[in-house]
Amino acid sequence: MTTKGVPTGKTQFSLAYRTETIIPVDISVLTLHVEGVDRDQNVAQLFLILDQSEEKQAQICITTNQQQMRAARHKKVKIREFQTGGLVLKRVIQTIRQKDQGKLQPNWKGPYTIIVWGGK
């Protein structure tokens, strides 16, 4: 497409390939836009841009994956605010449990009272 986007002021082609499009009419009628172009150098530059765009595309995919994983992880987090004097329970970790009580041992210890730590 040769229509410029409103937010960027650039065409989709120029954003993807970092070069402007050349309409077939421009090639048949020599203009300053195409007259000074060395075709071999142009092909080499296009291959270089293609390699860089593949690397950029891979980086975009990695970043997108990381953002999706971060969002999924944060979706499970429940933000809780505790206040001084409140009561909380402490979860008993499996490795700390006494082996003789088995599955009947309680999963929680407490309640504990929240205090300010650090002498303030």
Q: Are residues 69 and 88 in the same domain?
A: no
Q: Are residues 58 and 84 in the same domain?
A: no
* Residue 94 structural domain: 80-120
Element (H, E) at 46: helix 39-75
Q: Are residues 20 and 44 in the same domain?
A: yes
Q: Are residues 52 and 38 in the same domain?
A: yes
Q: Is there a domain that residue 1 lies in?
A: no
pLDDT of residue 113: 93
- As a 3-state breakdown, the chain gives helix, strand, coil percent values, each rounded to 5, of 45, 10, 45
Q: Are residues 87 and 70 in the same domain?
A: no
* Average of per-residue pLDDT values in the chain: 77
**pTM score:** 0.34
Q: Is there a domain that residue 2 lies in?
A: no
Q: State the average pLDDT over residues 88-114.
A: 80
Q: Are residues 68 and 84 in the same domain?
A: no
Looking at the DSSP bridge assignments, the partners of residue 87 are: 113
Q: Which residue has the tokens 């210890």?
A: 109
Query: Please, what sign has the CA dihedral across residues 70, 72, 74, 77?
Result: negative
